[in-house]
Amino acid sequence: MTSTSSTGSGPLSAEHEELRRTVEAFARDEVAPVIGDYYEKGAFPYDIVAKMGRMGLFGLPFPEEYGGMGGDYFALCLALEELARADSSVAITLEAGVSLGAMPIFRFGTDKQREEWLPRLCSGEALGAFGLTEPGGGSDAGATRTTARLEEGRWVIDGTKSFITNSGTDITALVTVTAVTGRKPDGRPEISTILVPSGTPGFTVGQKYSKVGWSASDTRELVFQDCRVPEENLVGERGRGYAQFLRILDEGRIAIAALSVGLAQGCVDESLRYAGEREAFGSAIGGYQAIQFKIADMEARAHTARLAYYEAARKMLAGEPFKKEAAIAKLVSSNAAMDNARDATQVFGGYGFMNEYAVGRFYRDAKILEVGEGTSEVQRMLIARELGLPA
């Protein structure tokens, strides 16, 4: 049994369509009316996150044995798209909490780590973060400077991480960090991943960044100085941290693509509404071909980008190689979000420059989508390599 979504996304399974409609209603009725106030204050929306937790959104792709919903990664992507149609701060909180906070533990953790952490993360009672990016690293994630050495059965971590989402909220329970744990025979750094619970001595969470967008999400710098955690907090194999986070980033690019599509579609939604209400020169502006063509282009971008992330998710769930498709989806979708945000602001005219209107938030939120979880330049590089062009 299949059904067709109102976003023009084509046939979805009955279960996926039910989820999409549920999140669509939640975003429209619970998020959209109040998020502007959080955004202006730069406040984290704890009550919205709690409601999302009770809905099971943080547990969507995880097995029921860990408190999850037993769904799949595509279900998460559908939820992200619908949330981002209303607000990206809420959507990125879910995306980072699931694909960056909980997924490394699920994919690579021990049974004990999964049993200890996943139930709280799946319920939304706690958030996890992923400490990858460093102040001097940026896109060069392999140039990790944070170090971890073993001393008497404990990892001693020293270093700094930057731009880490969900890392300093009142409900943040842990951060998983990448660190250099030695050298390989060829002299390259051995990078491993280590779980650090919040409140661990030597682990300092910085102040919130003052950001252009995503103002209602939590993003901070993290500092580790002689931070000690048990040896068993290693996540996955020692020395496999780089390969592990590449897998996490490949998956995460599909999720960010879905979020980007949501923002792009939200721009269409808002522009259609406004074009029917706003009058100029004696008639609604939606009757003018210049506005019609602009909105038509916006819808075409959102539709095309949606197909791209659907295909990437399909290949991922089928167990097929999906690196190229994930990079294409992320590139196309983030471009669509940025272009649609710019065009929606133009449709709204002066009102589009006012933060009281959703398109003002959309414009501020769109740019980071071309940067976070791999810049557009990195996506092009990945696509080229997958096509067989030399590295």
Catalytic residues: 373
* CA separation, residue 261 to residues 40, 84, 185, 227, 331 (Å): 24, 8, 44, 39, 11
Tell me the residue type at 264.
Answer: A
CB atoms within 10 A of CB 179: 26
Tokens of 350: 């002066």
- Are the CB atoms for 191 and 180 separated by under 8 Å? yes
Tokens of 119: 């139930």
Query: Which of these, 242, 259, 281, 388, lies nearest to 329 by C-alpha position?
Result: 259
Q: Which 3-state string (H, E, C) describes the chain?
A: CEEECCCCCCEEEHHHHHHHHHHHHHHHHHHCCCHHHHHHHCCCCHHHHHHHHHHCHHHCCCCHHHCCCCCCHHHHHHHHHHHHCCCHHHHHHHHHHHHHHHHHHHHHCCHHHHHHHHHHHHHCCCEEEEECCCCCCCCCCCCCCCEEEEECCEEEEEEEEEEEECCCCCCEEEEEEEEEEEECCCCCEEEEEEEEECCCCCEEEEEECCCCCCCCCCEEEEEEEEEEEEHHHECCCCCCHHHHHHHHHHHHHHHHHHHHHHHHHHHHHHHHHHHHHCEECCEEHHHCHHHHHHHHHHHHHHHHHHHHHHHHHHHHHCCCCCHHHHHHHHHHHHHHHHHHHHHHHHHHHHHHHCCCCHHHHHHHHHHHHHCCCCCHHHHHHHHHHHCCCCC
User: Considering Cα of 111, then 113, then 115, then 118, what sign does the dihedral take?
Assistant: negative
